Structure 1
């Protein structure tokens, strides 16, 4: 942290000083949580085909969590693009596609559960895809967190009005899709702490969960469909997204500044 403080003296590191790192073995020796000092992200939550979402989740995880049903036959997925500018494992970009689920061991009441998660700022999901643009981030994510990461080009482009992430197809090297979001005005600068947890399996097939806590320093949201522009191509990731039959964009979040702490996975206690 002293290195970060020297390199970027303008960063407020007070939040991280409240947290204790502990040594963990996650396929390699590491320290948990992993700190993300300065980052930005855009997220769009879309409705998607519920039957397809259930198909994509392992049966033993489905016994613990369910995709949220927002209305009959429709679930929800969150597409998030991250630019990590300062973090413990250097800087990198990442695209996350995750199914929005209930919490383990709790009944899902569809839209009410989603509303409850929003109000409590405690979200649960199952990660489907998570490409990154550095080898270090890929190895740590796959070995340490058993996440579906692969290495590909992800470039951030900006205009005065929007921020866009261009994602390359790793097989062909061609542009696969572009995920763009408006730079919303009326930003809140009240620090908002949000928890995002995900269910998963470790290398031996045991159920685990991981979680990240974000301190959103600057943020705004919109339910307007024109806040987001998702242009899908013909690559493998685009084809996968098309198979989800995305529908209405329910919520867009523009977070030009946040800090984060990612905790090492822990066993998911079943039957609680």
Structure 2
């Protein structure tokens, strides 16, 4: 496991959460799928008019689903499933090709719409520090022939099931996400640096599947009129990450 990724990073104590900032994620894996959705429906989810969805086609913006397993991190092991909307915040919208590349590589700006996790400690820290929209749910991973799958449920009702092709996952790279959240009605931005030690990209619609369940959140997702197939997906079985402390937009 590489260690130099974390070298040279100044950290501060967060005694109320029993950890340090920025947060270190020493060992994680994830699957990601990028779908299109109805821009008008997605725009209704965004809390600020300055948040402009990235469109792949007129009327069709991007929606990203990422399921993560944090096997070793400062907040103890937990799982997470991010539902994010790639946005341009108060800027001109990116060209389509650049937007798709950024969504796949996580070198993008995105509004974090939903962020269920599996532990109360992860929920409290995320909500209190940066206003992440976290709630505790069941997030279970499954290894299938040639695929990795994740099921999200709460109170016995399935929200969704995401699966992705695996592949050799030989590539390595460093990527960045600027995540936008709201805390007490104030927009914040946090930088997430990810070192993918192994990853595999897929640019065909058969590489990932998204099945919606019977939870009310699944009904909300249906209302977004998601595409039947993804425009891109990614499998990264081994990665590291650093989540920096949130900042006000004036300081971003």
TM-score by length of 2: 0.91
Q: Deviations over 1:136-193 (max 9, x none)?
A: 111111111201111111111112411111111x2x32333211111123x2343x11
Query: How far has the Cα of 1:230 moved from its partner?
Result: 1.4
* CA deviation profile, 1:43-102 (whole Å, cap 9, x unmatched): 0000100001111111xx322x31011111110010000000000000011111011112
Distance in structure 1 (CA, Å) of the matches to 2:149 and 2:7: 32
Query: What is the match of residue 188 of structure 2?
Result: 208
Give unmatched runs, 5+ long, in structure 2. none
Q: 1:230 to 1:118 in 2, by over 3 A?
A: closer
Q: Does 1:81 align with 2:67?
A: yes
Return the index of the structure with the highest Cα Rg: 1
- Equivalenced residue count is 251
User: Could you tell which deviates more after superposition, 231-240 or 80-89?
Assistant: 231-240
Task: Indicate yes or no: 2:208 matched with 1:258.
Answer: no
User: Which ranges in structure 1 are unaligned for 5 or more consecutive residues?
Assistant: 1-10
Query: Residue 34 of structure 2 corresponds to which residue in structure 1?
Result: 45
Q: What's 1:62 paired with?
A: 49
What is the Cα deviation at residue 21 of structure 1?
Answer: 1.3
* Higher-strand-fraction structure: 2
**Partners of 1:119 and 1:235 in 2: how far apart?**
27
Query: Which aligned segments of 4 or more residues in structure 1 are displaced greater than 4 angstroms?
Result: 27-30, 118-121
Equivalence for 1:19 = 9
Secondary structure (helix, strand or coil) at the match of 1:269 reads helix
Structural RMSD (CA) = 2.3
